[in-house]
Amino acid sequence: MVQCPICTKPVKPTNINQHIDSQCQEFIESHSPDPDQEHGAAPVSSFFQRPVANRAVANVSPKRDAPLSVDASRSTPRKPVDESAMRNKRQMDFTMPSHISDDNPGDNVGEGLALKRQKIGNAFQNELPLAARIRPKTLDEVCGQELVGPKGVLRELIMQDRIPSMVLWGGPGTGKTTIARVIASTTKSRFIEMNSTNFGVAECKKVFSEARSEQRLTSRKTIIFCDEIHRFSKSQQEIFLEPVESGLIILIGATTENPSFKIQNTLLSRCRTFTLQNLTVADITTILERALELEYSNHSQPSVLDHEMISYISAFAAGDARTALNLLELALSLTTSPDITKEVIKKSMTQTLVYDRGGGSRFDTMSAFHKSIRGSNPDAALFYLARMLECGEDPLWIARHLILIASDDIGIADNSLLPLATAAYAAVEKIGVPECRISLAHATVALARAEKSTSVFIGLASALASLKEPGVSSLAVPVHLRNVPGELMDELAHGKDSKSNTEFKRAVEQEFLPDALKGRKFFKE
């Protein structure tokens, strides 16, 4: 047996850790006689005890009025060893709180350690951001996601502990990490959380090796949650292929980008993709009200944070629950001032436009801009133009799309708009931002108000489609339409019977298509 370093009670060596974790209440063995008092009895050995030489010195208790012992080889006197002082020094990390009595020293020390741990835990919890403090712990607390709702598909898989490898795709603050951590607390599998920003291939291989050992020893699965998985390059993503394919690990990847573009197809085929919905204003309002209820459970909340203010913060967050909670935490900090008002809190908030020039939001915004012009809605077109410009989009990139729209959607309905769009591109090149914004707006409104015709676009698409038909792409050009560069071609009758439109009032009455396509119509007014 060994002596516990906290309560000094005898415990079996194999149970020492469990004994300390139980606050020195369990796994206590019966006291063995002291070898210094009863000869022939089995001693209580412990690697926590002092060496024998030190014990021998400590057992010599000096009298209260005994003179100081003097070492002949030293000029300064040396005090006798104090047993209680040495014990206090050894246990300085386990100091008993002053309010605990000394009736039962062993138990009180354990209680003091528990209280100390609780205080440290509470202090650490209070230092966390509000978004981390109120993070949902169960599926019932997750708000705004039908996937884990009462009838959600993912909820059923989690409750049955049949979790597949998956990719959680959703915007910031929609609950991807929250769902993954709820899975960690629900499942019986081993859970490892990593972020692609600080994990490389070498670290991943080490995790896979540990997962293989865990599987062989305990038959327990390993779930790896990889946040921002799209930041792994596609070559780095290949490291997950074999472990996922063999069932060694269950991969849960979280991404804000479209998985079709950012995640390797071979890895994506081994995972199920779950799309998280954007949170509504009502969802975020519910989250903020729950946060206030938890923060002010024992006393009333500030009057400035009424329902109108909560609704304003919910709308301001633009579907991001984390942003909303951060704004609420800012408002809570400002309410400590006695003269704080709603207007002051609103002015302290900084709007962050969600726009990633390298991600899906860029092309989603351009698509909305293009379709607004196609739908002859200049107001919506100007809104999306302003959004792109405000987010720092390249104005030349916008101007190139205006040129495309001029031929794609207006076409021959108004042939003057292609030169206008080209002139807008030249204006952007010559004068730059911010002045070129007016030229872009000019072209945008003109294109949106113009008559639309897609006949040119459809005609070209029909001609291209015909080339995919069997044998069409190899059809020979009719002889009367061929070039006549020399005498040999003249002798072969190249260009013979070719007619000129000067001989006709309107279109030339002649067949121009190969015989196999005679009478085929590609362009329609």
Strands 166-169 and 10-11: unpaired
Give 253-268 pLDDT, tens digit per residue: 999 888 888 888 899 9
Cα dihedral 465, 469, 471, 473 in deg (nearest 10):
10
467 pLDDT exceeds 70? yes
Q: DSSP secondary-structure letter at 480?
A: G
Question: 68: which 2 tokens?
Answer: 């100081």
pLDDT classification of 475: cutoffs 50, 70, 90: confident
3-state class (DSSP) for residue 195 = strand
Asked if residues 239 and 266 have their Cβ atoms less than 8 Å apart, the reply is: no
pLDDT classification of 498: cutoffs 50, 70, 90: low
- Is 360-453 a CATH 3.60.60.10 domain? no
Give 179-217 pLDDT, tens digit per residue: 999 988 888 888 988 887 778 888 888 989 999 998 888
Q: Average of pLDDT values for 40-54?
A: 46
Task: Find the angle CA(23)-CA(25)-CA(31) to the nearest 5 degrees.
Answer: 125
What is the pLDDT, as a whole number, of residue 437? Answer: 92
Q: Average of pLDDT values for 1-8?
A: 80
Buried b (16+ CB within 10 A) or exposed e, 128-140: eebbeebbbeebe
Question: 136: which 2 tokens?
Answer: 């949902």
Question: Within 10 A of 65 (CB to CB), how many other CB atoms are there?
Answer: 5
Least reliable range by pLDDT among 1-5, 408-412, 439-443: 1-5
| Of 455 and 165, more confident | 165
In angstroms, the CA 142 to CA 252 distance is 18
Asked if residues 223 and 194 have their Cβ atoms less than 8 Å apart, the reply is: no
In angstroms, the CA 387 to CA 366 distance is 10
Distance between first and last Cα of the chain: 98
pLDDT classification of 350: cutoffs 50, 70, 90: low
Q: DSSP secondary-structure letter at 519?
A: T
In angstroms, the CA 186 to CA 139 distance is 9
pLDDT classification of 489: cutoffs 50, 70, 90: low
In angstroms, the CA 233 to CA 392 distance is 26
Asked if residues 398 and 388 have their Cβ atoms less than 8 Å apart, the reply is: yes
What is the pLDDT, as a whole number, of residue 438? Answer: 94
What is the pLDDT, as a whole number, of residue 302? Answer: 80
Asked if residues 293 and 154 have their Cβ atoms less than 8 Å apart, the reply is: no
Q: Average of pLDDT values for 476-481?
A: 74
pLDDT classification of 518: cutoffs 50, 70, 90: confident
In angstroms, the CA 475 to CA 467 distance is 10
Residue spans per domain, the chain: 145-275, 281-348, 360-453, 472-517
Distances (CA, A) of 490 to 143, 233, 500: 81, 61, 18
In angstroms, the CA 224 to CA 243 distance is 11
Buried b (16+ CB within 10 A) or exposed e, 265-287: eebbeebeebebeebebebbbbb
Q: Average of pLDDT values for 51-76?
A: 44
Question: pTM surpassing 0.95?
Answer: no
In angstroms, the CA 152 to CA 139 distance is 10
What is the pLDDT, as a whole number, of residue 256? Answer: 86
Give 293-349 pLDDT, tens digit per residue: 888 776 777 888 888 889 889 888 888 898 889 888 888 888 887 778 888 888 877
Average pLDDT of the chain is 77
What is the pLDDT, as a whole number, of residue 459? Answer: 85
523 pLDDT exceeds 80? no
Question: 174: which 2 tokens?
Answer: 């929609």
Could you tell me which residues are beta bridge partners of residue 192? Answer: 224
89 pLDDT exceeds 70? no
DSSP character string of 63-82: -TTPPPB--TT-SS-BPPP-
Q: Where are the beta strands (DSSP E) in 439-510?
A: none
397 pLDDT exceeds 90? yes
Asked if residues 263 and 287 have their Cβ atoms less than 8 Å apart, the reply is: no
Helices 360-374 and 436-449 cross at an angle (nearest 10°) of 50
Question: Within 10 A of 478 (CB to CB), how many other CB atoms are there?
Answer: 16
Asked if residues 417 and 449 have their Cβ atoms less than 8 Å apart, the reply is: no
Quickly tell me which residue has 């540990």 as its tokens: 210
Give 113-127 pLDDT, tens digit per residue: 444 455 445 544 557
142 pLDDT exceeds 50? yes
Question: 52: which 2 tokens?
Answer: 């024998």
Question: Within 10 A of 425 (CB to CB), how many other CB atoms are there?
Answer: 20
473 pLDDT exceeds 60? yes
145-275 against 360-453: fold identical: no
What is the pLDDT, as a whole number, of residue 403? Answer: 95
What is the pLDDT, as a whole number, of residue 358? Answer: 55
As a whole-number percent, the residues of the chain with pLDDT over 70 amount to: 73
Quickly tell me which residue has 């394919």 as its tokens: 245
Asked if residues 237 and 262 have their Cβ atoms less than 8 Å apart, the reply is: no
66 pLDDT exceeds 60? no
Least reliable range by pLDDT among 87-101, 121-135, 481-495: 87-101
| Of 252 and 77, more confident | 252
In angstroms, the CA 403 to CA 430 distance is 17
Q: Average of pLDDT values for 477-503?
A: 58
In angstroms, the CA 113 to CA 7 distance is 11
As a whole-number percent, the residues of the chain with pLDDT over 90 amount to: 19
| Domain 145-275, CATH number (from 3.40.190.10, 3.30.465.10, 3.40.50.300, 3.40.50.1000) | 3.40.50.300
